[in-house]
Structure 1
């Protein structure tokens, strides 16, 4: 969940009463070690739009919870799990199983070490679960935190098969980087044996030896390429959708929602596969025809036409590799029964995807405005508000106080103080301008990866200009693009490819800061077009904006 970048909305110190409530929710073995000093709470948004409330102690994130989760389950970070080995249920896995978790997989139950010596702890569905790894005679961790998708009794009942833990946070992910970045602790198996007592020592030694043998077997099988995988990976593959099933539903989705009845027949089979079927493959999935039992799309079409009493598509051969779809049975049972799930039936997401930032010009409330703004809403100093919201609030206040006199506003003591005027009345436009002048101009930049940049200043402009160099050679300079969240190196590469000319990133010259782009030739028009068309930058944020010259009619 934290493998991709996330945006932190706010992060502020907590009141003592809230700190006491938070600590009361924690296991005693953890709460007794925590200090009430330097405790803060924050909220972040993950890449997949989950809202997360997190809590830091002395700038180290220790706990988090889902904002919209009614159960308000509090999950520890790996930093918190290192404080106590008894606070949360622990799963033990081999190190090679953990590599799957690092790549984004959930924990499958066959990958969990569970026997008479290493038992399964008791917990309910949805409970926090932590994961340790074992390699040789060393146990590391906990190195991951997850949410149990079934209770411990349900896991035993199903024979430890299927998906057991939804992984939320792992060691060395981006959430871990918010802390002090300490490595996970390790402990030798010998120390664990000694802590269990002399009676358990022979049994545990035997269990550890068996674990080492199992681990070596798994590693040897992987090295020998025998096709054997760890129990965790095998179970994961069993739970995954088969490629043949994915192919069938993408075929039906492409036929029903992309080709549609309006298609002009005959329709080339190869074009159907490329333009209708493959674009329906769900996001983060990959369809490889060679990994299906059919191997070839033509073989799949033959098989799918045999699934019911009548063929779903009629194929005509026009030579090798030139088959066409001559007819489609639109009332076929397969098409009637088909229901959309996660198939992509439009290209809207790809078409509307922006590579540039979204810019908002807002106002940051100052102390003089608090008395006015708090008459219609709860507000704090520094809170952001759009000019339209502030204007509407002022209008509501004037009407509520019966100060409206047509095109003029009767000044009461509060408005007169804010406007710094002794006049009895003032026109609406002047009043709004004077009130908005008390706020701090602020611009907010929302980046495509959901990060947010806030600058308490007027929105800067990208500055374009052309300069002459030795030999009367012209170069185009692009300044200030980084202030609007645009990566100068990425933009330089796009410009270089677009105009087929040299582009380099150099340090900007005063009054500009950061990096600037130097592009060979007079390319202001091309840069202007790219910034507006591809990056979505409004031309009001581009100083030196220039449209490309119109072609003369012949």
Structure 2
């Protein structure tokens, strides 16, 4: 109930004295406490009480009553007043407020994980328990009563907790609140008190006989057997929940003509994918680990409940039964709340893995970095600023060096801050024959002038290849449509070599992509590279292919020279 954070948690409000007295009187009446036990009432319904409204993760409204220091003491669920239910904090103050059932220590984590208490997990219990009655669950301790750790409602009467043959199955308690849940976390999260010896706790209890579980010599000890049974019952319960989920979802949309379904198909295609994505049990959730042990027994139990209709297999015993249909309007199906399933989680994981694989296989974009190297007149500037005169610099690095120099020399114009005053170093660096350097320049103009005095370089970084650093300004790839051989249009691609692309490979891929003939022609001049030609107007196809190979869009220039300019 409180395994997930509360939704729509309102601000707590102090309870009026009159309301607090009414609440105290209600507690005394509901829990069979006499007026003479008024001091006990003050202990479990103390002064300074606050109330706070909330909604559970499943959408059920409720009210919690907190102590003055924010510790949750009571809560109610549903519209209207509802039953007043004590928290474990209240039960630690007065453990005898609720009747109890005890269970082995190994079962407690299963309960705090969200599971209900199974009959097989009950060791001791009070007598006279009725279905729907609010009870506490404690950790079984020999010769002592452990502190209440769980609060829930009885699923059955106490008479159904034990059978003569020791084969009682099903749920004993529907869990509402546990230690370590979100309601408990609202309090001080203190440790439970120590167990109380049986002679001091004032309870009359009934205990399941060990003979019911350990009839033979060297048999499994009682606690281990109970743990085994609780796991089996827990798996059975989860599989039944998966059946309800499947009936409400995947089976509900099957056309009637899909039935009958072989039981194995029914199980593998609908029940298994409908299991909860997260379960409190570390045991595999399948038929083998359930109390049924085989699929036929599980389906017969579901048929007995009125959830499915079966047709037994003819011929050899143990054959694959047929599922004739499911009962969508069954009360348990209508009451079932859908959840995130194993099938959904698996599908999400597969999609994530497919995206990761596609991302890994996709060619990463080629990184083009424009660089500049100090040259001729600019060398002195970099030496004066104590920077390397033989290093390569990015545009941002050059701007930073220039700004640091301007700040250090106080060159910002005092009258117009957007202008930079020229000192002897800057004037000498920017001077050209036949023209004078102005007394001041704008910062971006000064930066461009400095770049003009430097030598351009560039660096190409492609996925899976060593970075290529070359002198000179990088030109973009040219994609031009021209008319050749009369009126036939063709697309010409040049200057792709600096981007680490090979002419023959481009031509082969364009031949397949465009379903057109291609050709590779050497360009005139020494080391001028190649021209790839593909028939037809293929600008978009070529641009898409180049980008798929990692060429950034800004480094692709295209022009259709066959289109006449409009006047």
TM above 0.5, yes or no, is no
TM-score range, shorter chain: 0.3 to 0.5
Rg (Cα) greater in structure: 2
TM-score (norm 2): 0.42
